[in-house]
Amino acid sequence: MKKLSVYSEETNTGIIRHIYLRRGAHSGQIMVCIVVRKDIARQLSALCRLLSEKYSTINSIIMNINPDNTNVILGDRCITLWGSDTISDTMCGNNVEISPLSFYQVNTVQAERLYAKALEYAAPGGSETIADLYCGAGTIGLSMAKQAAKIVGVEIIPQAVENAKENALRNGITNAEFHCGDAGEVFGKLRRQGCKPDIIVVDPPRKGCSSETVDIISEAAPKKIVMISCNPATAARDAKLLSERGYSVDKVCGVDLFPRTGHVECVVLMSRIYKI
């Protein structure tokens, strides 16, 4: 195999930026994703042959192209070098397909406990509409679908939205719909079209909810907000902003998805006190 140079952020030179593995905790299926600065599919053919012949649990080898001078890990373009475009796993009893760009918790067993706590806090009775913002591949919303009348998911990454739609079909879930775009912008549009959720679930990135999303959530005036966060600091900030808009923080629970680190996920339940 030809030797390939390692990318340097300081000089913006080199080819191989990152290599990451994604493994289905229940299925055992493995995806190998090689992040490169330019298309080097031909140079990677020998490596793909070696990996696929030696490791039977590898189901997918993907090349992700990120040509930008940035510390962002993944680019927008993925090319399947060997095997399937996705891998399968089980999350909260649902069979899910996961693409390279879709968010999926690395600690699946603890993620299932995290989502179970979110469902406990949401406590839908079967007649509610639940908005699932920053929904990723739909795993949280789909875990609540059997207890709700309707799930409305919003996610900005197109591949993740397609995964969410496919995951609903794979599990025979017919009361879920998913929309692609910025959470605040798309949910605002859905609101103007008559979407009135009883419960809103948010699982934003580490930077938390955008100010537009916080405004739209409070304007929607759901009875409950369930916030899942990998950054307690931004969760506290967003909870404060929502408390100023008529909500009380009723419960908070930490779930450790990152053993031996200082990081922790948290779930926050907020209830509407009054509508502003």
What are the distances in angstroms from CA 153 to CA 65, 86, 181, 249? 28, 21, 10, 23
Distance of CA 163 to the CA centre of its chain: 11
Looking at the annotation, which residues are catalytic? 230
* Four-CA torsion 144, 146, 152, 158, nearest 10 degrees: 80
Structure tokens at 106: 């690395």
Structure tokens at 1: 């195999």
What are the distances in angstroms from CA 70 to CA 10, 52, 64, 111, 150? 10, 31, 15, 29, 39
Nearest to 131 by CA among 231, 243, 226: 226
What are the helix (H) ranges across the chain? 45-54, 108-122, 139-144, 158-170, 183-192, 211-220, 232-243
Neighbours of 276 (CB within 10 A): 11
Instruction: Classify residue 147 by its DSSP letter.
Output: G
Nearest to 245 by CA among 226, 266, 271: 271
What residue type is 21 in one-letter code? L
Secondary element (H or E) of residue 35: strand 30-36
Q: Is 114 helix (H, G, I), strand (E, B) or coil?
A: helix
